């Protein structure tokens, strides 16, 4: 399933031999398992515990553990869908590193992940036993530089917060 290309701030093309993540020496693999998530968005540098209960999602986590511990978390378009298709999954997600995995007595898996970089899924390579995708773009979010306008905005916000706190 090919995805349409949209405009982004800065795009790093991932070559088959691997491209580095922004601000890291770690290389991006050519393909990664996909973990569709409901009602949560993970950002780069964020550390988050997730409870994984769907069989297909547990297999995706196991696939990431058997390789380089990298997986892409993408939000589902509808939280009510139990088994989403590639069309029901957003194209942009966050590549995360699986830090810890704990198997729960009820069959679910608790996973601690850390966001590395936003990425765009270009193609789903397989759907079974879990989703796997080719990522061609690592989206590098540029940090704004501190200019006169930004300093003035920050000063104004601080003053307004101070005034409202005194009320």
Residue showing tokens 């922004």: 22
What is the per-residue pLDDT for 110?
Answer: 94
Q: Is the entire prediction scored with pTM above 0.75?
A: no
Residue showing tokens 């978390």: 73
- Residue 4 maps to a domain: no
Structural domain of 91 = 10-166
- Residue 3 maps to a domain: no
- Residue 38 maps to a domain: yes
CATH code (residue 98): 2.30.130.40
Q: For 103-115, what is each residue's pLDDT tens digit?
A: 999 989 999 999 9
Q: For 13-59, what is each residue's pLDDT tens digit?
A: 434 344 555 555 567 777 899 999 998 888 888 999 999 999 999 99
- Residue 155 maps to a domain: yes
Quote the CA–CA distance of 52 and 36 in Å, as a whole number: 10
Residue 4, SS3 per DSSP? coil
The closest alpha carbon to 130, from 63, 81, 69, 50, belongs to: 63
- Residue 19 maps to a domain: yes
Q: How many domains does the chain have?
A: 1
What is the per-residue pLDDT for 167?
Answer: 80
């Amino acid at each position: 399933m090919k995805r349409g290309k949209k405009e982004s701030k800065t795009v790093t093309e991932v070559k088959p031999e691997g491209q580095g993540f922004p601000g890291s020496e770690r290389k991006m693999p050519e393909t990664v398992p996909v973990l569709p998530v409901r009602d949560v968005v993970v950002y780069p540098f964020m550390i988050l515990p997730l409870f994984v209960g769907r069989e297909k999602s547990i297999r995706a986590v196991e696939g990431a553990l058997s390789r380089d511990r990298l997986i892409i978390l993408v939000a589902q378009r509808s939280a009510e869908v139990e088994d989403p298709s590639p069309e029901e999954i957003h194209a942009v997600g966050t590549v995360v590193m699986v830090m810890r995995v704990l198997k729960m007595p009820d069959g679910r898996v608790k996973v601690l992940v850390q966001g590395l970089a936003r990425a765009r899924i270009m193609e789903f390579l397989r759907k079974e036993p879990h989703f796997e995708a080719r990522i061609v773009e690592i989206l590098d979010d540029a940090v704004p530089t501190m200019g006169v306008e930004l300093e003035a905005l920050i000063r104004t916000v601080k003053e307004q917060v101070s005034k409202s706190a005194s009320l």
